[in-house]
Every structure is written in C-alpha cells, then in structure tokens.
Structure 1
C-alpha cells in the first residue's frame, strides 16, 4: 500500500515536515472536515513512541504526556474513538481518567475553563496534543506549554478558524518560526471525501463568514448582514400559498422594555419550515404571553412545543403551570445562526410576509460584530425567537434519532 492510499497530499506534506525536522509547536488549522485531526491523531501515536524512546535513554520509568481538549467528551469523540475505529486502540483508564499507551502515561486536561489546569499542575510532560485549540482558554494553553519541559518535548495542536483577533492566530499562526510550524487546510485538501460530499457541503454552507471559515479555512471577521442569503423575492411567500403543514413549534424571546416575541414555525413532511405567525410587542407582562401561547395551542394543538429563552426561568415555569409545553431553548448562538442561515441558503425556510412585521424590520439590520465574530445584540428580538425554534428543534431531532438507533440497533 502506497502512502498516498492512506494520506492526502496535504497530510503527506505535514508528515514530511514534522517527522524529519525539529520543532516545538506544530499547529494545524483550517476548514472543518479537511483532515487535520486524522493526521494529528497519527502523529500523536508517533510522538508517544518517540517519547518512550527518549525516556528509555534517560532511565525514566513512566514519562508523562498531556492529551488536551475542551472536555472529556470532545477528547473521546475526536481522538480516542477515532483511534479505536482505525487501530482498535482501547485505553484502560485509571480513577483519574488517565491511561497508559506505548509505555507513556497520558494525562487528560480540559481546556474549556481555568480549572482544566488542575490535572497538570507541577507535572513535567514530554509533550502534548491539544485538540480544538482555538476553544482553549489562553491561560490553560499557556500552562500546557509551560509543563512541556521534558527532554525533546513537542506540542501538537489543531483547530478550526476563529476571528482574526484571536490570541492563537496573533501569537502563533502569524508568527511562525523554526520552532513553531503551522499548516493551513481547506476543505478540498481532504481528497478522501467524495466530490459529491464536498459539493453538497459547499452548496449548503451559508455565504460570508461561514463559507470563508468552513470551506476556505480562513480566520476572517464577520461583515455586514448576518443572513446574507436571504432574498425577499424568494423567501417571502403569502400565507394563502402555504403547503400542507404536518408539525408546529414555537420560539419565545422574553422582553419588556425591549421587544418580546413568540414565533410559530410550521413544517412540511419533507422538512421545509415556514414562519407562519409572529407576535412581538413591548411592555407586556407574562399574562399577555400566556394568552398568546394559549391561542397558539387552540390553533395548532395542545402539545405544540415552545422553545423559550432561559433568561426568565419564572416565565418558563408559569408557562408550564398553564399546561403549555414549554422548555428551555438551546441558545448556542453561532450554531443557531448557522442553522437558520443554512435553511435560508438551501431554500428550506420561508416567511409569510403578511403575517410578520418586526421580522421585516430586523432581517436587514441584524449585522455582525466584526471584532467578536457574533451578531450585534440589536434588531434581534424576532430573529432570536426564530433561532431558538429552528435550532432547538434540530438538536432535539438529533437526540431523538440517537435514542431510536440505540433502541433499534442496541448501540
């Protein structure tokens, strides 16, 4: 079997540059699904064998190595599960969540909060592998680097892009040296993905920041209107043109001085969504919103779901006492925006023009904060409710599918 049967050209370039040359930090960054983690997982195994050899030469019985990620679940999903799938490697964990592999003690560290450094304080590590590095707290990343003081210690890292002001880009990617290497990946570097899959990903990726980051792997700031693919001539319809709808659910954004809103989404059997009602106003107490919700129940059924802003738990509790099927929305902001944007991009979300008013005011004024890479918290009351509805329902669909698979197939 030739090396090209196992690795893409980009991965072979990384192999040649990292195995044959000296370095301290090797950072792979770029598009999702471009092959970064695959090659780093293999380099991780190579590094453990190299560390064991150094330890043998120095008479060290149990050298230590840091395996870092945002959480235990991301390490399991992105690294350990993939190693098991590829090589049947199944570590045996001790009571601290650490394990031995190739005679090296691998200590897990979690980079998503400052408490993640607890597992590695005072240790001398012979290397580290940091997954999803842009999501790491800078203090935790710095602590990991400082712990790598064993002979020949080296650090593998990979990440998807973030905003161009991110500390990782400014301090490491923009300042390569003979000790700090970095490699940029684009989606098309992963030639093991089928052309059809890559074209499908491109066709469903929203324009603007999401395209630049997810397809081109660029560290770009967000610019302009958030929902760039929204086309009034295409995505507005009249309510008398609605197709048969088989499912209904709602998004709720509480408000008082700023606007509160409830939106109703209707969905076809094929999964196309329609914003069919908008209720948005100011200076109304919870009794008003209870009446709105009960009216929605009368029109669409008592079990219609209301995905609510969790910022007002007392309001969610009041809905529940009123036998309204209310639950906290999944408020992941960028993921939610991307979910809505994808539906617009592929013409799976339409708006009943004659049943909305505030949406028409917000859709072209909802813009990106260039520095933060997130939408500015203005002109977002109905759009937040829409995001809560669309994204939370998608998340719940995914969870239901996992449960169904476990029941049907036993995994």
Structure 2
C-alpha cells in the first residue's frame, strides 16, 4: 500500500523529513482535524524503535521514553486507543501506569498539572512525545525536555494554536531554525482525506473570530472584540417557545455587581432556550433563596448549576432543598460552547426575558492584553450564569442531577 493511501501530502513530506534528518524537537501545530496527532502517533512508534537502537549503543538494555498527555482520558483517546485500533497493539500497563513496547519502557505522565513532575524526575529518557502541548504545564514540559538526555533523544509535540504570546510559540515555535527545532504548520485544508461537505459544515459551525482563525486556519491569533459576535437578534430572539421537555438553571452570585439566576429549557431536538430568570444587585442570600424557590414552583425540582466561588451560598441552597451543583467554570471551553450554539442556531433567547441579558450580549468583550485569552469582567453576569448552566449540562458536571418530566 502506497503512503498516499495512509497520509496526505503534508504528512508524507513531514514523515520523510523526520526520518531523513536529525533534529531535537518537532512541533506539529495548527488546525483541528488536520492530521497532526495521527502523524505524531505513528512517529511515536518509529521513535521507540530508534530509541532502542540508540540505547543499545550506550549499553542500555531497557531504555525509557516519556509519553505525555494532559490527562489519562486524553492519553487513552488521542493516542493509545487510536494505535490499538489501527495496529492491534495490546498495551499492558504495570502498577505505575507504564508499559513496554518494542523493548522500550514507556513512562506515561500527565502534563496538565505540576503533579506530572512526579513520574519523570530523575530519569534518563531517550525521547518524548507530548500530546496537546499548549495545554501542558510549562514546568512539566521543561522537565520532560531536561530528562531527554539519552543519546539521540528527540521530542515530538502536537498542538492546536493558542494566543500568540503562549510560551510554546514564543520559546519554541518562533525559534524554530529547521535544524534543531522543526515547526510544521497545518490548516484544515491540508487534510485531503476530509470531504468538502465536512469542511463546509465545520466552517459553518465554528464560531467567528478567534475560534475560526485557530480551529480552521491554525493561526496563533489574539482574542479581540465582541465575544459572541455571531449573536443576531433577528435569529436568536424569539417570541414563541416550542414544547420544552425539561429545564435547568445557572447561578452567578453577586452583590456589588449583578447576580443572576437563569432558567434554560431544552426541546426534543436538543435546542436550548433562555426562558426565564432574574438579575439584581444588592440582594442577600435570603432573597436569592426565595427566587430559586419561586422558580422551583414554576419549573419543578430542577438542578441549579452555581458559581462555586461562594460555597456557603451553594450549601445554603442545598439546605433549602434546592438541588445545587458546583458549575463547570472552564472559561474558554464554556465560551466556545455557547458561541458554537449561537453559530449553529441551537440557542435562543425569549424576547425581553431578562433585561440585563440584552445589555450584556453586545458589550461582553475580550480583554485587550498579551497574556492570554481572557474576557473582561464587565457585562458578564447573566452570560456567566448562562454559561455555567449550559456548559455544565453538556459536560455532565454533577452526579445527582434530578430529572424533570421523565427522560430529561
């Protein structure tokens, strides 16, 4: 079988270069679905064989190699399961979560937090593969780099882009010289195995601005301007609601600034509707308890996904038999989820439902700084409550969710 049946042209070019030249670090970065991880997974197998050969010259019988991923879930999903399905490899883990392959002892580490240092300190590695490198803790990444001191050790990485001042871009990609460090940029259009219908749909459903620049074109761009730039009152504001099969709520606590409770309904097609809620300043917890209970009377014993910053308020709600769960507060992932729902026309707002929402939706902006992606903490109170509710619901945050109207 020819290489063109397995890889697209850019992958073939990179693969040949990886095998032909000597280098220290190769970073494959860019758009989603471009084939970066697929290529690095196969390079990983080739690098293990190379590590075994290099170690033999050093008189090392069982060399070690580092395999890094942000979590156990991403390690399994992005790498091990893909390789197992593709090549039938049966990974047998020891009590430390590591495994032998091709005579190399592969040490797994989770790069998403500083705890990842524990599994690699003091070791001599003959190479490393770091998946989703921009999500890695910088100290863990640096430690992996330092551990790769075996003869001929090389590091391969893949990642989607982040903001242009991310340490991976500034310290490594921008310093790529094509010799010691090789950086390969991908767009979604590089993957010629994707059909045009998929690409068109991917573009149509990716939120405008930063998300499409990074996700489709693989560009390291800053967040800027309105956060929910795809919101259109002519599309997303509705007077009539369809039959809704269930409801849930989001809570953003506030006193000096607005606090908010939002009620979200969902129809049988999985479309979300902001149907009710409140936003007020200067109100104590007793007032919020009364509000929540009034919503319970109206919509049933629904779940409230609340900001965990005021844990005493969460406890008070639960003491009052208001089912309340700490929300999943992941900012960028949550914003992208809401923005995607607006783009796909799957999130609608009942016209006039919470006046504060209509003040916020056009004024919620990205912060103008160079340190990363961060929204301004202005005009965000109802929108935070909405994000807590929907993103928590979609990601399945909480385990004791109450059902309403059977099936939801």
When normalised by structure 2's length, the TM-score is 0.94
Q: Distance in 1 between matches of 2:210 and 2:331?
A: 14
What SS does structure 2 have at the residue aligned with 1:164?
A: coil
Q: Distance in 1 between matches of 2:248 and 2:12?
A: 48
What SS does structure 2 have at the residue aligned with 1:388?
A: helix
Ranges of 4+ aligned residues in structure 1 off by more than 6 Å:
397-400
**What is the Cα deviation at residue 191 of structure 1?**
2.4
Say if 2:119 is the partner of 1:92. no
Matched ranges for 1:384-403 at <5 A: 384-396=384-396
User: Does structure 2 retain, via aligned residues, the 8 Å contact 1:278–1:357?
Assistant: no
Q: Could you say which residue in structure 2 is the equivalent of 1:196?
A: 197
Matched ranges for 1:350-369 at <5 A: 350-369=348-367
Q: Could you say which residue in structure 2 is the equivalent of 1:213?
A: 214
Q: Distance in 2 between matches of 1:397 and 1:385?
A: 15
Q: Could you say which residue in structure 1 is the equivalent of 2:63?
A: 63
**What is the Cα deviation at residue 41 of structure 1?**
0.5
**What is the Cα deviation at residue 234 of structure 1?**
2.2
Q: Distance in 1 between matches of 2:122 and 2:325?
A: 44
Matched ranges for 1:7-406 at <5 A: 7-177=7-177, 178-238=179-239, 241-301=240-300, 303-370=301-368, 371=370, 372-396=372-396
What SS does structure 2 have at the residue aligned with 1:266?
A: strand
| Equivalenced residues, count | 397
Higher helix proportion: 1
Q: Distance in 2 between matches of 1:397 and 1:281?
A: 26
User: Does structure 2 retain, via aligned residues, the 8 Å contact 1:72–1:110?
Assistant: yes
When normalised by structure 1's length, the TM-score is 0.93
User: Does structure 1 retain, via aligned residues, the 8 Å contact 2:279–2:354?
Assistant: no
What SS does structure 2 have at the residue aligned with 1:7?
A: coil
User: Does structure 1 retain, via aligned residues, the 8 Å contact 2:128–2:154?
Assistant: yes
What SS does structure 1 have at the residue aligned with 2:107?
A: strand
**What is the Cα deviation at residue 244 of structure 1?**
2.1
Q: Could you say which residue in structure 2 is the equivalent of 1:404?
A: none
Q: Distance in 2 between matches of 1:398 and 1:249?
A: 13
In the alignment, structure 1 segments of 5+ residues that lack a partner are: 401-411
CA distance 1:314–1:397, shift in 2 (3 Å): closer
Q: Distance in 2 between matches of 1:322 and 1:46?
A: 59
**What is the Cα deviation at residue 398 of structure 1?**
12
What SS does structure 2 have at the residue aligned with 1:126?
A: strand
Q: Distance in 1 between matches of 2:353 and 2:156?
A: 53
**What is the Cα deviation at residue 397 of structure 1?**
9.3
Q: Distance in 2 between matches of 1:252 and 1:211?
A: 29
User: Does structure 2 retain, via aligned residues, the 8 Å contact 1:67–1:129?
Assistant: yes
CA distance 1:337–1:245, shift in 2 (3 Å): same
In the alignment, structure 2 segments of 5+ residues that lack a partner are: 401-408
Q: Distance in 1 between matches of 2:391 and 2:118?
A: 34
**What is the Cα deviation at residue 399 of structure 1?**
9.3
Q: Could you say which residue in structure 1 is the equivalent of 2:404?
A: none
Q: Distance in 1 between matches of 2:375 and 2:273?
A: 23
Q: Distance in 1 between matches of 2:79 and 2:241?
A: 46
